[in-house]
Structure formats: C-alpha cells, structure tokens
Structure 1
C-alpha cells in the first residue's frame, strides 16, 4: 500500500508539473499573439486613348483588414489568418483596369463594380532553429513577397497564393522556395487557377531563390517555372560604393515552354525568349535621394512588337524591382529606357519627389517615343497619436502611342499616332494594434 501511495504521489507531481508547463506554454502563446486592424482607402484614375477612343478608368474603394498572428506552441508551430472586407465608393466604366473593385458581371460597365469579402490568408506556420541557422515554413493561403520569382501587389488588399513556402537562413544567406497551385487576386473574393494568355490552366508554379545580405549589400538570384508555360530567371544586385553612392542592377529573363509555344501568335508577348536589363546609380545627400536608371529589353516577336511580361501567367504577380516598373511601358522589344528620380525630405514626416521616364524603340523605320512625368508625395506623421498612418499621392502626365497589343497603329502617312494620358492616385493606410 505504501509503495502504491508513493507511486500515486509521484504521478500526481508529474501531472501537476506537466499541467503547469502547459499553462506556461499557453501563456507564452497568448503573449506572442497579435491582432491588427488596417484601414485602407484607395483611389486610382487614368484618362487615355491608346487602344480605344478616349476613356476614363476610375475606381475608389474602402477596405478593412483584420490580421491575426498567433504565438508559437512548443516554440515551433502557429497559425495566422487575415480577413478583408472592401466596399465600392465610386467607379466608372473600365474600372477593372485599376485592380481595385470586384467585377460582378461581364464587360467593363461601371454597374458591375462592387466590393468583396474574403479570407486572404489562412496558414500553418513552422519555425525551427534561430536567426543564425533556422527554417521558417508556411502551408495554406499566404502572401509571397519577393519569394523566388513571385511577389504580391497592394491595392485595397493583397493577392495571396495556395501552397507551401519556406526559407532556410544561415547567417547572411537565405534559401527560399515555394510551390503554389491557386491564387486569390487583390480585387476579388474567389480562388482561381493560374492561366496562360489563351486561358489554359497552369497546374502549378514552383520557384526558388538565394539571397545574400550584408549591410546595404544584397545579391539575389531567383528561378521559377509555370508548368509547361514559362521558365524565369532573375538577378538583383545592390552594391554600396560609399555611404552616399550605391550601384544597382536587375536582370530578368523568360523562356517559353511547350504550352506557351502552342498558343496563337496573337496571344504571345514574345516568340521564345524575353530579357530585360536594368542598371541604376543612387546618391543620398542629406535630405535628397537621387536615382538615375537605364534599361534595355530584348523580346523578339513575329508580326508585332514583343515585350517582357513580368508575370508568370494570369492571376500571378511577378517579382520586378527595376525603375521601369510600369506595365508594358519601357519593356518593349528593342526599347531603350531612361529614368530619373529625385526625392526631397521636407520634414521628418513629409517627402516629395519627381520621376521622369523616357522610352524609345524602332518600328518600321520609325522612332517611337514614350514617356511620363510623375509628382509623388508621401506623409507618415511622427506624432504618436497618428502612429501607423501613411498617406501617399501621385499625379502624372504621359505621352505614348495608339496601339494593338503593344504594336503601334500607323496613320495613312505611315506615322505613329500619339496618345497622351493623365493619371492620379491616392492611398491612405492606417494600421492599429488591437491585441
């Protein structure tokens, strides 16, 4: 009987210790759990007549996003989720091109514009090791920011992908990989498959990359493939010469695979390969930031002007960090592009900038010239009461040409027809910590 009592006492002590340990573990889990609310108001406007008579593309919406980030159980496993509700404030015909509001019908009529609600992220997360040598992994619906050749875009919400991703870190080196099969776009509530330009399904995208960072020096290489459609390679370099001067370069290349080559010629952005080469120099001087960039694109295409497409198919967002980030503009076959950017920090909170883009390529012995000048402003108040608030606004005037699939439309005299444009954008983001 005595031995039995000793055994029961030992068992009780063990169970009590385990319960106390679980209680402490759960308390740590709660302490590391966070819930944030982000309010996002976004308006985008474009007036142009490149591919049709003069049209206004206008969309304005308001969104609220709840981001839940759990703590870690056993210091290894957790769960994150985010939910977004967006509503329409205003829209014109062709609102879809602004990527803001959900199209509830067919065509581009403004009556189709509406809001949406969706869980953008729902994933299990895993961590092993520490900052010196460790693994971080996710499985489920999650965002991918510059993972291999994939990235995201922020409008009223961000796009997300279904699948798995991970990062293995060792000191200054990080290895990334992702395997994804579906996406939810930033302006829609529904999961969709990846598609080719002629709407054939792409079963999956696999991508990987390696990054080295040491202070302001960074080197990144990425590789990825949309199954049977496109293969992508990229190289991004940021090299500081001094505390003021920095050199940077980006190289992006796409190679056509079986399903791409089988598409009708009218659906292709290029024939077999497309490359975009970019370099820039940056100067930081007190409150000033100056950047000067040059880029060149090679994207041969039979019967038309080819261009480098940043994305790995429809319903994806491709990684792209060059100053020429402006859709098809400045990334057409044989196009030489120049970019000048100057920003001045007016105060601790307010910055203003001007960016000038210019591009030129040859088509049927004619020099086709395009460009734009954009005024950019950003306000991040330093006051504690306004912590988490960012207001960004820009206004731009551009000149381009009337076209069909990036190919100039010529008049009776064989000259290209010019096409001016006016654009504007305002984004207000306010983030609050609720938990």
Structure 2
C-alpha cells in the first residue's frame, strides 16, 4: 500500500514537471507571418534584356520556447505568388535560380526552415546551436534575404560565447535557393558537385570595437579567409567617426577547381588561382546626417577573361557581400579594379519624421584588367534609397523601401552599356501569438 502511494506521488510529480515543461515550451513560443510585396524592374540598352517581376511573398515563422530551458524547435514556411512578369531575365538561366519567382517565372512554396535548437548557460557565457534546415547565421555562410523569400541551407551551426567574444562554426551540404522549392547540391558552372562547405570564425563586439575573423572551405573547390575590423570614435554628443576595413582572400583548391580550369579555352572559374579584395571605409555621423567615404581594390587575374573575386563558395549560392562597395547591380570586385565610393544619408527623426531614411551613393570603378575580347575598363553606379517604417497607429510595423540604381559599364572595344534597376518592397509582419 505504501509502495502504491509512493508510485502515485511520483506520477503526480512527473505530471506536474511535464506540465511545467510544456508550459515553458508553449508560453515562450511565437508565430508571426511576414508579408512582402516586391517589384523588380530592369531596363538596359541591350535589346531583349528588359524585364520586370512582381510577387507577393509570405513567410510563416514559428519559434518555440525551450524544453527544460535547453531544447527547442523552429520552422518557417515560405512562398511567393506570381502577380506579374514581363520580359526574360537573362541571369536566371545562368544562375539556376530566379529573381522574385522561380527560374521559369512561376510561383512557389516550400519549407524554408525546420531545425532543432539547443542552448546552455546564460547571457554572459554559454552555447547555442542548431541543426536541420536553416538560414545563414554568421561569417561567409549568410545566404540572401533580398528577394521574395530568403535562401536556406541544410546543415548545423554552433557558437560558444563568453561575454562579448564568440567562436562559431558552420557545416552545410544542401541549399534551397531563394526562389526555388528544391533542396540542391552545391554546384560549379560545369555542373560538378561540391559535397559540403564549412567555416570557423571568431567575433568580438564591445568597447567600440567590431572585429571578425573567419575561414571557409568548400570541399575540393575553394578556400576563403576574411578579416573585418572597425572602431567607433565618440567625438561628441550625437557625433561619431567610424573607421572600418575588410580584407578577403580566396584561393582555388582541389580537383573540382582544376576541372573547371583545365582543357578549356576560357576557365569557368572566377579567377585562375587566387584573389583578394581590400575595402577601407570612413563614416562620419552628425545626428541624423551620415557621410561615408570608401575605397577598394581587387586582384583576381583570369587569363583570357574578366576575373573577379567570388565571395560565395560555389556557383549556385548567392550570399551577402562583405564589402561596403558592393552595390545592387555590381559588386565592384573585378580584377585590377580600383573603387572610390561616396555616400550621404539622412535619418529624418531629427526633423520629427521618425522612420524616414534617405541615402544617395555614387560608386566608381576604374583600371579593370579584362583579358577577354570585349575589354571592360571601368564602371560606375548611382543608388538612391528611400525607406519609411510606420512607427505608431493602425499601420505600425508596415515598412516601405524603394531602391533606384543606375549603372554604366565602360569598354574600350564597344560602346558603354547603360542599365537601370528599380526595387520596391512593402513589408508587414503580423504577430499571431
């Protein structure tokens, strides 16, 4: 009888703990739906290359609480509905992925994320990790979030942090491109398969210092290392000077790289053997006014062609460029290219219009070393960005952003090529619970 009473007590305790664990898991969970209405319009003076796309993107993002304050599960469902499409985007056929719609200009839907997550420790020191289907996190595996929905990877990511210092690592072996519903192997331009990629890095952010070092390798194809450094000088109230730099080094490595290099009139690789990119920036902030000056240079020789530094580790992945001079039409990373960029921005909160921001950027690249038949010698791009986020009232959380880019490619063997690119985003996130 006593044993039965103890068993009943144990069952009651376990039930109470189980209810408590489930309560923590559910009470700390959230579901939001992000709606993105986005329109791209491209016009060039090259016949047949004008196109536009208009889509309604949807992201349903579930984030769980943690069971026993340690284990959880997150998932995201992505989709985009085709609203309009005109012309043929010449880049979709070469990149294996579309712009706002699939590469064959259709709507799509997919599970974009589904991963287990774990955490240990507290805010000062501990561990965080996740494994499954996920978006990029840090370093050189970041993915792209500038289309209807983001790109995703299959793999694992973990980081150990002690106060302001973090050490992280990432392993990935599949990609779901930003507008495709499949999970694909990493590929080169020749169709060779890259089995996986991994990176390790360190990050420090404190005491006005922002520093990161990361090394990445894609199996049999690519090695990359990157250093980011920045320091903020607090000159006066609402006045600061930010100096920063980025150095990126890439090297072809392995049989897959060599297969794309040998026995061809022109290599399919971005450069012959190695490439580097140096970017230096100075930014002055005076209240809402920002003034920025950037310089960059690239070394990426390619015999018989136009070399460039490829900051992604395969040819069907589109990550975010780490360089400040990378723009909306061009990355300004061609071989020999010397880049000067000036930027002005203003936050209208100082004029009692919070949420309104405007920036104007001019980027000029010269001294390009093009060894191809049509020799590109330089380029320039002007970018105007206007953004506004509603701060209060019924439409709080609605944000609008319009980007207009004008780009010119300069040649010594033919006339210059002019292009115009318009991007318009209307975003709104609905919190379900």
Question: Taking structure 2 as the reference length, what is the TM-score of the superposition?
Answer: 0.90
Secondary structure class of the residue paired with 1:242: strand
Change (3 A) 1:271 1:433: same
Question: Structure 2 residue aligned with 1:360, among 366, 379, 398?
Answer: 366
Q: Report the CA distance between 1:348 and its aligned residue.
A: 0.8
Alignment of 1:228-307 (within 5 A): 228-243=220-235, 244-258=240-254, 259-263=256-260, 264=264, 265-307=266-308
1:83 aligns with 2:80: no
Q: Report the CA distance between 1:421 and its aligned residue.
A: 1.1
Could you tell me which runs of 5 or more consecutive residues in structure 2 were left unpaired when the two chains were aligned: 93-97
Question: Structure 1 residue aligned with 2:149, among 128, 135, 157?
Answer: 157
Q: Distance in 1 between matches of 2:42 and 2:367?
A: 24
Q: Distance in 2 between matches of 1:329 and 1:181?
A: 26
Secondary structure class of the residue paired with 1:27: helix
2:370–2:377 contact (8 Å) kept in structure 1? no
1:349 aligns with 2:345: no
2:335–2:369 contact (8 Å) kept in structure 1? no
Q: Distance in 1 between matches of 2:246 and 2:192?
A: 30
Q: Report the CA distance between 1:41 and its aligned residue.
A: 0.8
Q: Report the CA distance between 1:362 and its aligned residue.
A: 4.5
Q: Aligned Cα RMSD in Å?
A: 1.9
| Match of residue 9 from structure 1 | 5
Question: Structure 2 residue aligned with 1:335, among 334, 337, 361?
Answer: 337
Secondary structure class of the residue paired with 1:55: coil
Q: Report the CA distance between 1:70 and its aligned residue.
A: 0.9
1:65 aligns with 2:59: yes
Q: Distance in 2 between matches of 1:42 and 1:318?
A: 19
Q: Distance in 2 between matches of 1:43 and 1:166?
A: 36
1:37–1:431 contact (8 Å) kept in structure 2? yes
1:47–1:54 contact (8 Å) kept in structure 2? no
| Match of residue 380 from structure 1 | 389
Question: Taking structure 1 as the reference length, what is the TM-score of the superposition?
Answer: 0.90
Q: Distance in 2 between matches of 1:364 and 1:179?
A: 35
Q: Report the CA distance between 1:373 and its aligned residue.
A: 1.3
Q: Distance in 2 between matches of 1:161 and 1:427?
A: 24
Q: Report the CA distance between 1:364 and its aligned residue.
A: 7.7
| Match of residue 176 from structure 1 | 168
Q: Distance in 2 between matches of 1:158 and 1:228?
A: 27
Q: Which sits farther off after the overlay, 317-326 or 383-392?
A: 317-326
Q: Distance in 1 between matches of 2:298 and 2:129?
A: 35
Q: Deviations over 1:219-240 (max 9, x none)?
A: 0011111100000100111211
1:308–1:328 contact (8 Å) kept in structure 2? no
Secondary structure class of the residue paired with 1:385: coil
| Match of residue 404 from structure 1 | none
Q: Distance in 2 between matches of 1:23 and 1:151?
A: 38
Q: Report the CA distance between 1:6 and its aligned residue.
A: 2.4
Alignment of 1:36-55 (within 5 A): 36-49=32-45, 53=47, 55=49
1:309–1:328 contact (8 Å) kept in structure 2? no
1:137 aligns with 2:129: yes
Secondary structure class of the residue paired with 1:26: helix
| Match of residue 103 from structure 2 | 103
1:229–1:257 contact (8 Å) kept in structure 2? yes
